[in-house]
Structure 1
């Protein structure tokens, strides 16, 4: 059992994902914070956690808490991050880091001068084969990168009766599909290739400008067989889908398709990276297979197997080949990197996890994408 004591703020879908991953690492969960004291107590009881906090003040005052995981609506991230850092707690925040680049710039600067670790939960980096691709690119096995193409597609908001707080601009921000899932892809490909996105052109699509919101806020993620409920129309200004063209530093090009209205795609992240020596292709619905393309010799299909992977990647692939590692495991490996870094104690050392600076970069990129859609033209991404 590690010495950390963690409190999780947020009892919805992603909060329990954090909790389960932390428990698998032997990290103690001290308490949970829900949207009300009653929900905090109910969540703590349901998850077998000691404390259900009545407020953020109570959570931050708890001397047993050394780190806080934030799994809350986006609009709360900035305030909760600021207050947690001020209380001397390490912070792991769900993305996006905050609602705009002014807030994320402040948080990145605050993290840089603090003596705590501050991370953003871009977990898709930590599929073992994505770490393998990063190692291959760093070793020069793909050569010069020519293009990066791919998609992130889901179907959970396909119908106009599908509803979640994320569809509302005031709760999640002006961008939704692109900010909610597209940023995972954008963070992933930049972390693997080491290339920075310099210019973008973006076209957003709102398939359902009006959605039918259940009275009582029953959410789509609660299940497909939802009971009949009274509904009310609500105007939607956020994007259900997006198409993006990218130009990377050094000349590489990119294409991204994002959708939360693609029937049958439950949570599919995919990419193909083309280089001068080889290409690679991966799909999260088959996370243990990496296709490696060759011009002058047979192409390969690499199965995730620690014995076949780069040395620095093996510690993030915990099961033998043929034993699939998927979505929950990415959080475990992300948190492994985060808490190993904390235990090393040098907060000026290069981070092994996505930082607040990375979270700031993604919000700056989102703002450039929104600006491009509005102008219907190419836009420079501010550095």
Structure 2
């Protein structure tokens, strides 16, 4: 089977992560990368040993060798770049959010369907072995009826007033920041696990740090804060939320709540999902991703480990090593790429209702939920999610 040829747009934190995950598959080759300038593209190409570098992503899209394109640009560029990828007739894997408004995501979904291309969104937490195992337990009703869906997603990289990043600016990051950036991962994960769609929301979004000090020199994502002199920064008034708590109602009758924060000292990437069912409960923590806690009322609780001998058939394709050989975030990314490119290699139908990865349908659904969350926080009332699929 000839290698599938790929181009990546974006040279920041997430672009190289995509490159690494793609290369681990063995049958997919990254042949080109595009940056915000030819200099940045060449620098990334040299560092990552990629043959071609483009200073304009549109030139990459004209490359006849490139069959699939990964959109790893900042949020405000996702719509225009994704639309150009679709028009070029290339399969596309987009970072989330798919776009910054539901109008844009609906357009992208419609265009991708019409073009008949394979379209994915990087909701990578679905692809962990223990998430797959938990999904199989829930759907087989081994835990009983789903009643409560609870959890949080906490980070600390924006906890200081001198922490600043482009995601904070709504013009670049979109109308919701913490909830859109990381809360969207939690919402996608729990809906995937339970098979229940979010139908109503009640949200409280808070800007804890209304003024931040923006460095006059560039600061990268997840960079460490440090003391600066007064003339090294400027005061920026903040409109996006640092924190949010959201109540949910789900299509299958469950209710739930999540707390999202990017200002929680000591929490690095703390995504936690807890599913309370009628017979047992289950808890999965991304920072201890090889473990799944199962709670019982009338017998000892369990801690299930990521061992091929212990997990469900559904989880088996997502396990690559024997028990005790921990898999983490990079392995979840690899699993996403394996599902996406395996589908392309088999000439899968992108209009199928059972894709093995998150698609533009899921990206648009997420935008619909975020739209309702913003409205709820403004109105201080329950808002029903309107899905216009």
TM above 0.5, yes or no, is: yes
Aligned partners of 1:273 and 1:123: how far apart in 2?
A: 19
In the alignment, does 2:376 pair up with 1:375? no
Structure 1 SS opposite 2:248 = strand
Per-residue displacement from partner, 1:278-312 (whole Å, max 9, x unpaired)? 11011111111101112222221100111211112
Instruction: Flag structure 1 segments of 5+ consecutive residues without an equivalent.
Output: none
Give the match for residue 263 of structure 2. 261
Give the match for residue 358 of structure 2. 354
Contact 2:157 2:223 (8 Å CA) reproduced: no
Aligned partners of 2:15 and 2:210: how far apart in 1?
A: 29
Contact 1:2 1:28 (8 Å CA) reproduced: no
In the alignment, does 2:314 pair up with 1:312? yes
Q: Given the two structures, how large is their TM-score scaled by the length of structure 1?
A: 0.97
In the alignment, does 2:220 pair up with 1:219? yes
Comparing 225-234 with 46-55, greater Cα deviation is found at 225-234
In the alignment, does 2:133 pair up with 1:132? yes
Instruction: Flag structure 2 segments of 5+ consecutive residues without an equivalent.
Output: none
Aligned partners of 1:360 and 1:247: how far apart in 2?
A: 19
Contact 2:203 2:380 (8 Å CA) reproduced: yes
Aligned partners of 1:274 and 1:112: how far apart in 2?
A: 37
1:1-383 paired onto structure 2 within 5 Å: 3-26=3-26, 27-224=28-225, 230-347=232-349, 348-349=351-352, 350-383=354-387
Aligned partners of 2:359 and 2:241: how far apart in 1?
A: 26
Structure 2 SS opposite 1:132 = helix
Q: CA deviation at 1:2?
A: 5.7
Aligned partners of 2:60 and 2:359: how far apart in 1?
A: 23
Contact 1:162 1:220 (8 Å CA) reproduced: no
Per-residue displacement from partner, 1:58-108 (whole Å, max 9, x unpaired)? 101111111001111111111111111111111000001001000001111
For the aligned residue pairs, the C-alpha RMSD in angstroms reads: 1.4
Contact 1:307 1:314 (8 Å CA) reproduced: no
Structure 1 SS opposite 2:287 = coil
How many residues end up aligned between the 2 structures?
383
Per-residue displacement from partner, 1:17-76 (whole Å, max 9, x unpaired)? 101101111221111111111111111111111111121221011111110011111111
